[in-house]
Amino acid sequence: MKKCLIADGRLLMYCGLAIALAGATLFAQTRPQPGTKLPLDQVSAQMFHVSAGKRLKPAAWPNGARVAVGLSFDVDNASANLATGDLISESISRGEYGAVDGLPRILRLLDKHQLSASFFVPAVSHLLHPQMIPSILASGRHEIGVHGWIHEHLPSVGDAAAEQDMLNRAIETLTKAIGRKPVGYRAPSWQFSQFTMGQVKAAGFLYDSSLMASDDAYEILLDGQPTGVIELPIERIVDDFPYFGGATNGGMPNPDEVERVFQSEFDVAYEEGGLFILTMHPHITGHRSRVAGLEKLIAHMKSRPGVWFATHEQIARYLKSGAGS
């Protein structure tokens, strides 16, 4: 270690890498592995507590469309920072950007192209910026869905009653804001606790959009039993967050590279006659260069015949009607 401190820059880098690798190796050696001691029936119960049931892929989308496109925006703003007590001004102000500039810019883009989208809103985001939901609903094209109370991390809550209380308050808050009960749910950070799916089912949601078991929609099973809840799957590959950095700090500074990934995912969905769900965040994608990149993707999708742009609710209701095979 002493040699590392006095060595030149290259040796410092190599030494730091060696220390990091040694730490990773130690972590791998000491990582708890409770699953190795469980009988298969318990492993199976864990694997399939929440799982994919009947796949819902229609022979055709409405009006003979070849692919369904669901543009979605998680309007987190600074709610996740507030939930964890991260009150650093950089984090809070970057979150606030979503309400101040990001969301309005995205809505202008959607208006320009006359597209529908789904907006998943933590209740606290709405309460802190009450102008957002009226602006989203003004066009009459968009949908509001539930995205937690304060973007809480559900596996860390560890209390069924506390989790239920936050879900109830989120539903009540958004119902009051939009004038009807939301039909869609997306878990904060896309992560369920052991209680979440049961509570989502009991709340009567039409669909969830938090899971990743397929490219296409499917019915969610809870402990092997059909729930009647439709899953509209998401994926980190088609989410702005991993590419642009968790703090929106330019982890992938060239938006064209990100849109190229999204475009490829869309193109394959188009060829397969499937479903393309894209997740974005106003405080991330709402920046100027990134909205410009999103518009290029929209132009590409609109250039293909037979593309159905719809809210998640519209997609789920179409599948629920029996259109899914």
Number of helices (H) and strands (E), helices first, in the chain? Answer: 16, 10
What is residue 27's predicted lDDT score, i.e. its pLDDT?
Answer: 60
Are 78 and 92 in contact, with CB atoms under 8 Å apart? Answer: yes
What is residue 57's predicted lDDT score, i.e. its pLDDT?
Answer: 96
Per-residue pLDDT of 45-80, as tens digits, reads 999 999 999 999 999 999 999 999 999 999 999 999
Rounded Cα gap, residues 259 and 295, in angstroms: 9
Residues of the chain with pLDDT below 50 are 1-3, 5-13, 248
Rounded Cα gap, residues 163 and 152, in angstroms: 9
Report which of 62, 135, 82, 64 is spatially closest to residue 314, judged by C-alpha positions: 62
What is residue 245's predicted lDDT score, i.e. its pLDDT?
Answer: 73
One-letter amino acid for residue 302 of the chain: K
What is residue 1's predicted lDDT score, i.e. its pLDDT?
Answer: 41
Rounded Cα gap, residues 42 and 116, in angstroms: 43
User: Residue 150's Cα: distance from chain center in Å?
Assistant: 15
Are 218 and 56 in contact, with CB atoms under 8 Å apart? Answer: yes
Dihedral sign from CA coordinates of 238, 251, 289, 293: negative
Per-residue pLDDT of 114-155, as tens digits, reads 999 999 999 999 999 999 999 999 999 999 999 999 999 999
Are 16 and 4 in contact, with CB atoms under 8 Å apart? Answer: yes
Report which of 11, 147, 35, 20 is spatially closest to residue 83, judged by C-alpha positions: 147
What is residue 249's predicted lDDT score, i.e. its pLDDT?
Answer: 59
What is residue 322's predicted lDDT score, i.e. its pLDDT?
Answer: 84
pTM (two decimals): 0.90
Q: Which are the contacts of 325, defined by CB distance < 8 A and separation ≥ 6?
A: 56, 57, 58, 59
Rounded Cα gap, residues 229 and 274, in angstroms: 19
